Chains A and B, each alone.
Chain A
Amino acid sequence: MALSAAACGGGGNTNTSGSTITFAAPVSQTGAFGQAEGLYTLQGYKFCQNTLNAKGGINFGGQSHQVTLVTQDDQSVAATSAQIVDGYNDKGYKFILSPYGSAGTTAVAPVVERNGQVMLDSNGADTAIFTHGYKNTFAVLSPSSTYVTTIIDALAALNPAPKTVAVIAANDGFSQHAAEQGVKEAQAKGMTVVPSPTAYTSSTKVAANATDVSPALIAIKGLNPDVIIVSAHLNEAVAAVKQASELGIKPKLGFAATVAPPTPAFISALGKSSEGVLGSTQWVPEITASDSIFGNARAFLTNFTTTFGWSPDQYPYQAADAAAACEALALAIEKAGSTDASAVRNALVSLKADTFYGHIEFDATGMNTNKPMYVIQIQSSAFVTIYPSNLASKQATWPAVK
């Protein structure tokens, strides 16, 4: 079956089969992201490829084109990702799906730009990627600047809303940018940021991937913030929750963190201590839009989790990002009616599509404009959507700490 969203894909079942189209991606199979975020991203790409092909591939010019996914391990090293993408260019692979993470995507973006390839960014959220005027990189996901602001918005909507928050941030681009915007949002909502609004750049800044964040926690001990927000990746967030308990630091209302809580690894690393933690996420299964490939968000979740053996309560959202990136590329190719990279790029610029991932539309910098972020809470070891309220599946347990 063809993609319904495509304007020119009228042929449907009668299409003859055309040449296959290659989507190429550097993926992290070993190293820090191997068997973790890198794997989830790869699963998302694979799921997209399989589903797409089962539904008849990409249709244009009266032919249906199957998609081949080509991947190579980048060992979780950014320079290797870039090298792989250059290698793909030799083989004529113009359609690139991003590696996992901001560092890898940042390294690949200029390569794609020079080679005239097109990249769909699934999991690189650092706003820095979009400030260099790259024309060939398009991100389906929301940028880093929204990760903490959405948490603040969710907190402001809760009852009781926090009056004071503390922000701990890792020393990496993604986390610092997220914290910066988050602090502004908190102040706009009338919250007090302790120990100071710039603490995330000094006393509550922690090393990226730190497993000991006690100095930052001690810096806020005694200040009794209502909520502690951790703008960081998994290691730092896990350490923050554990060590806060060790140090007798109890936020009055609860904990929130950016990318860590909506990952199964967060629950496995914290066990019961993960209960009640809020986390911002790129995708939730309650999203209402749908498309003809994956169906709606709930159907995506059901089919994806069955295919790869995940629990529907704990799913890796990175896979949804990946599948959405892959889908956006397919839609653009169909819209362009061609496998010419610049035609596809132009099609991406004007793409407007509703998908299981929500509305996809790119602005001049390549960001998915107006895509909202969502907030989940961990309840009984399951991700529960609590924000925005129209998508909330359950009430938030609030205050989260007893």
Chain B
Amino acid sequence: MSQLLQAAAYGVVQGGLLGLVAVGFSLVWGVMNVINLSHGALAVTGAYLAWLLNLHFGLDPFLALPVVAIALFLFGYALQRGLINLVINAPIFLTLLLTFGLGLVILNSLQLLFNADDRTIETSYASQSLALGTVNVPYGRLAACGLALAITVGLAAVMTRTRLGHSISATGMDRGAARLMGIRARHVYAITFGISAALAGVAGTMIATVGSFNPTTTPGQLTLDAFVISVLGGLGNMYGALVGGLVLGIAESVGGLVLTGTWVNAIAMAVLILTLIVRPSGLIGKAQYSGRVEV
């Protein structure tokens, strides 16, 4: 029983971290209909940045977050403005292929720059844990989970309360109409991608703090996680990524304990497929962009 509680608790904080990985991916997919296969590579770029700041200036990863976020935002903005916008009207495969190629370029550059060793950002607190009876809740993942919650709530507020947010969702639902309203889609798309890249960078920094990362296997794993979570949670729903992350986190943690071997991974995929068949709009609510007008 205490093992189950421990697994559930760990699953929750792990799920928050997974949600953080997915939230930016889900935003870009929802608004622009782009499946960004370079999302994991962007997260790892953020992780390296935070790692460098920690290595050379002793900067705590949480203090490095704003720097990482701004740097990744600018990088993301430039990528969208200079590259992805060039094929944004093309069938979905093309943006998929473009971001796949982009991901290859980014992660191979990182590999050549920093070699393929696993890296971590060392802090005195991240691997410590809060002991509640027999259940331990790690501080690092708890903080990452809190950050995921704060970012999700903040993003939802931006999307529903601000002019920028309205521009983004309007462009996401009907680009033609948005243009008529004087919204510059190129700029709005670039900002959206920039935000997504910044969120990826934040997620990468958290992963570097609570776990470890490398340029070869981490990016693909993160992109796959983000893909699964976005679908589980429901596309374009601001809270979808968080819910999807929690579902996956708890399922893997509790399932991993109950099932022997690595059957849990097979079960996770079965759950994903069943979700798609039964509720293609995700576990919560209906997808915001289901009535999207394609132009």
> Which A positions have Cβ atoms within 8 angstroms of B?
30-36, 39, 76, 171, 201-203, 205-207, 209, 211-212, 214-216, 218-219, 221-222, 234-235, 238-239, 242, 245-248, 264-266, 268-273
B117 x A36 contact (CB < 8 A): yes
B221 and chain A: residue at smallest CB distance: A211
Residues of B within 8 A of A247 (CB): 6, 10, 129, 136, 138
Residue tally, chain B, CB below 8 Å to A: 43
Q: A32-B217, A209-B217, A247-B129 are in contact. Are A271 and B122 (CB under 8 A)?
A: yes
Q: A214-B253, A222-B2, A269-B120 are in contact. Are A30 and B211 (CB under 8 A)?
A: no
| B89 interfacial contact with A, CB 8 Å | no
Q: A246-B129, A246-B141 are in contact. Are A271 and B117 (CB under 8 A)?
A: no
Bits for B94-109, please: 1 = Cβ < 8 Å to A, else 0. Answer: 0000000000000010
Q: A219-B3, A246-B127 are in contact. Are A268 and B111 (CB under 8 A)?
A: no
B127 x A273 contact (CB < 8 A): yes
Bits for B228-265, please: 1 = Cβ < 8 Å to A, else 0. Answer: 00000000000000000000000011011100111011
Residues of A within 8 A of B128 (CB): 245-246
Shortest Cβ gap from B45 to chain A (Å): 16
Q: A245-B129, A268-B119, A271-B122 are in contact. Are A206 and B211 (CB under 8 A)?
A: no
B262 x A35 contact (CB < 8 A): no
Known: A219-B257, A247-B129; 8 extra A-B contacts, CB below 8 A, are A33-B116, A35-B116, A211-B218, A214-B7, A218-B7, A218-B10, A222-B134, A247-B10
B7 x A215 contact (CB < 8 A): yes
Q: A218-B7, A271-B122 are in contact. Are A246 and B140 (CB under 8 A)?
A: yes
Once the chains are docked, how many angstroms separate the CA of A218 from the CA of B116? 29
Once the chains are docked, how many angstroms separate the CA of A211 from the CA of B118? 11
Considering the complex, which residues of chain B in the window 169-220 have a beta carbon less than 8 Å from any beta carbon of chain A?
Answer: 210-212, 214, 216-218
B127 x A211 contact (CB < 8 A): no
Task: List 22 A–B pairs whose Cβ atoms lie within 8 Å, in order of A's numbering.
Answer: A30-B108, A32-B116, A32-B217, A34-B111, A35-B116, A35-B117, A36-B115, A39-B115, A202-B261, A207-B265, A211-B221, A221-B6, A222-B134, A234-B118, A238-B212, A242-B120, A242-B127, A247-B10, A264-B117, A265-B117, A269-B119, A271-B120
A214 x B256 contact (CB < 8 A): yes
B135 and chain A: residue at smallest CB distance: A248
Shortest Cβ gap from A242 to chain B (Å): 6
Shortest Cβ gap from B272 to chain A (Å): 16
| B14 interfacial contact with A, CB 8 Å | yes
A31 x B216 contact (CB < 8 A): yes
B129 x A212 contact (CB < 8 A): no
A221 x B261 contact (CB < 8 A): no
Shortest Cβ gap from A209 to chain B (Å): 6
Residues of A within 8 A of B3 (CB): 218-219, 221-222
Once the chains are docked, how many angstroms separate the CA of A268 from the CA of B212? 10
Pick the most buried of B108, B116, B216: most chain A CB atoms within 10 A of its CB.
B116
Residues of B within 8 A of A238 (CB): 118, 120, 211-212
Residues of B within 8 A of A211 (CB): 211-212, 217-218, 221
B14 x A214 contact (CB < 8 A): yes
Pick the most buried of A39, A203, A248: most chain B CB atoms within 10 A of its CB.
A248
Pick the most buried of A211, A219, A265, A266: most chain B CB atoms within 10 A of its CB.
A211
B261 x A269 contact (CB < 8 A): no
Residues of A within 8 A of B295 (CB): none
B120 x A215 contact (CB < 8 A): no
Residues of A within 8 A of B252 (CB): 212, 215
| B278 interfacial contact with A, CB 8 Å | no
Residues of B within 8 A of A216 (CB): 256
| B90 interfacial contact with A, CB 8 Å | no
Once the chains are docked, how many angstroms separate the CA of A171 from the CA of B7? 21
Bits for B1-29, please: 1 = Cβ < 8 Å to A, else 0. Answer: 01100110010001000000000000000
Residues of B within 8 A of A235 (CB): 118, 212, 217
Residues of B within 8 A of A206 (CB): 262
| B277 interfacial contact with A, CB 8 Å | no
Residues of A within 8 A of B116 (CB): 32-36, 39
Shortest Cβ gap from A313 to chain B (Å): 16
Q: Which of B112, B122, B136 contacts A272 (CB 8 A)?
A: B122
Q: A31-B216, A202-B260, A248-B136 are in contact. Are A268 and B118 (CB under 8 A)?
A: yes
Once the chains are docked, how many angstroms separate the CA of A351 from the CA of B115? 37
Q: A215-B252, A235-B118, A268-B118 are in contact. Are A242 and B212 (CB under 8 A)?
A: yes
A30 x B120 contact (CB < 8 A): no
Residues of B within 8 A of A32 (CB): 116, 216-217
